């Protein structure tokens, strides 16, 4: 049996885990790469019968580019899909928890490395099956920028729940985690009705939501929460984390959302760190301890909710 020391990154152990995951993952998926050591994670196409409107044109083609900061970012995603980060199954009878991660990027690009694959592997090391949602972008210029990403988020939760047996996941322990614009999409997806007539709340609503510096979640007048969400007793429990000096995602909006959750008697936890700015993801910043603390606090909260 492969065992990895907890809360450590062990390259050889991790590489072996990824190769085993490729072997034991369920069939019937669109596969990127082979099952050999170092293979790319598998992918699940969200809309095999055609992407519903609003669509992103297939041209220009999707691409991944390395920024000057050494972080890769993805653009022009017209075929939304889930990238699967599975782990070896220590106990064939033990159901695991699942988490779907929405990277940020202002609905223009996806920062799916430090706000995607990095956090998925971190959760893998701690026993969760993780999925990066490559939702459609760019949509920032669309009349409703979050419309397509919200559709993709609801479909992603529904698809993971539908495949729960394939991945040995408890269908009642599926969380959404969103960074920045991905946090906005995650919030709207979790706190609004299904966007497709054929979908149901039971299928599309996550069991918990983690929001990391969620972008523009406050009301248009600067108070309360967005008007495209409804916070009520049926809203999933939420964990919110961000920095107080974030110039893009205002701490006042995070606090307003937290208060709305409390008012509706929805279990919630809020962490506002003094420093950190915006967009740190899984890359800690100097003199900003919260940027390395939030994943452990989120995991503690999820574990307290049975994940």
What pLDDT, in 10s, does the model give residues 225-278?
999 999 999 999 999 999 999 999 999 999 999 999 999 999 999 999 999 999
2 is a domain residue: no
Between CA 284 and CA 280 the distance in angstroms is: 6
Phi first, then psi: give them for residue 102, nearest 5 degrees.
-110, 110
Distance CA 153, CA 303 (A): 23
pLDDT in tens, 135-169: 999 999 999 999 999 999 999 999 999 999 999 99
pLDDT tens digits for 101-130? Answer: 999 999 999 999 999 999 999 999 999 999
pLDDT score at 16: 36
Domain that holds residue 254: 33-304
Confirm whether 237 is domain-assigned: yes
Alpha helices (H) in 25-61, listed in sequence order: none
Give domain status of residue 37, yes or no: yes
Q: Is 28 inside a domain boundary?
A: no
pLDDT at 26: 36
Q: Quick: pLDDT tens for 13-23.
A: 333 333 333 33
Entry pTM: 0.87
Instruction: Give CA separation, 75 vs 49, 113, 154, in Å.
Output: 23, 12, 21
In the block, tokens 């072997």 appear at: 23
Rounded to whole angstroms, the Cα distance separating 121 from 125 reads: 6
Residue 194 DSSP one-character state: -
What would the pLDDT profile of 167-226 be if each residue is shown by its tens digit? 999 999 999 999 999 999 999 999 999 999 889 999 999 999 999 999 999 998 888 999
Question: Based on the structure, what is the number of domains in the chain?
Answer: 1
Residue 25 in any domain: the answer is no
Q: Identify the CATH number of the domain in which residue 257 sits.
A: 3.40.50.1820
Q: C-alpha distances in angstroms, 297 versus 88, 151, 190, 241, 246?
A: 25, 28, 21, 9, 19
Q: Is 91 exposed, middle or buried (0-12, 13-18, 19+ CB in 10 A)?
A: exposed
The answer to the question of residue 7 being in a domain is no
Residue, of 222 and 85, whose pLDDT is higher: 85
How many residues are there in the chain?
307
Per-residue pLDDT of 21-57, as tens digits, reads 333 333 333 333 323 334 567 999 999 999 999 999 9
Q: Quickly state the pLDDT bin for 91 (edges 50, 70, 90).
A: confident
């Amino acid at each position: 049996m492969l065992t990895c020391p907890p809360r450590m990154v062990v390259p050889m152990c991790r590489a072996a885990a990824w190769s085993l995951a490729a072997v034991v993952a369920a069939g019937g998926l669109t596969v990127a790469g082979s099952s050999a050591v170092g293979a790319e994670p598998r992918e699940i196409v969200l809309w095999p019968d055609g992407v519903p409107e609003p669509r992103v044109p297939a041209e220009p083609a999707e691409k991944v580019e390395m920024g000057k900061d050494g972080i890769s970012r993805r653009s022009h995603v017209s075929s939304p899909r889930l990238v699967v980060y599975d782990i070896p199954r220590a106990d064939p009878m033990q159901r695991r928890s699942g988490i779907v991660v929405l990277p940020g990027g202002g609905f223009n690009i996806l920062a799916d490395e430090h706000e995607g694959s990095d956090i998925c592997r971190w959760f893998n090391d701690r026993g969760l099956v993780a999925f990066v949602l490559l939702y459609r972008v760019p949509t920032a210029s669309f009349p409703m920028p979050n419309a397509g990403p919200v559709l993709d988020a609801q479909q992603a939760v529904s698809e993971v729940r539908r495949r729960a047996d394939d991945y040995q996941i408890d269908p009642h322990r599926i969380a959404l985690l969103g960074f920045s614009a991905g946090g906005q999409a995650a919030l709207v997806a979790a706190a609004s009705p299904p966007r497709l007539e054929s979908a149901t709340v039971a299928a599309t609503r996550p069991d918990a939501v983690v929001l990391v510096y969620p972008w523009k979640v406050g009301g248009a007048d600067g108070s309360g929460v967005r008007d495209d969400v409804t916070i009520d007793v049926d809203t999933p429990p939420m964990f919110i984390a961000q920095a107080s000096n974030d110039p893009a995602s205002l701490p006042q909006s995070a606090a307003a959302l937290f208060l709305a959750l409390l008012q509706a008697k929805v279990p919630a936890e809020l962490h506002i760190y003094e420093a950190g700015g915006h967009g740190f993801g899984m890359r800690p910043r100097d003199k900003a301890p919260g940027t390395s603390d939030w994943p452990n606090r989120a995991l503690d909260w999820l574990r307290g909710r049975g994940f």
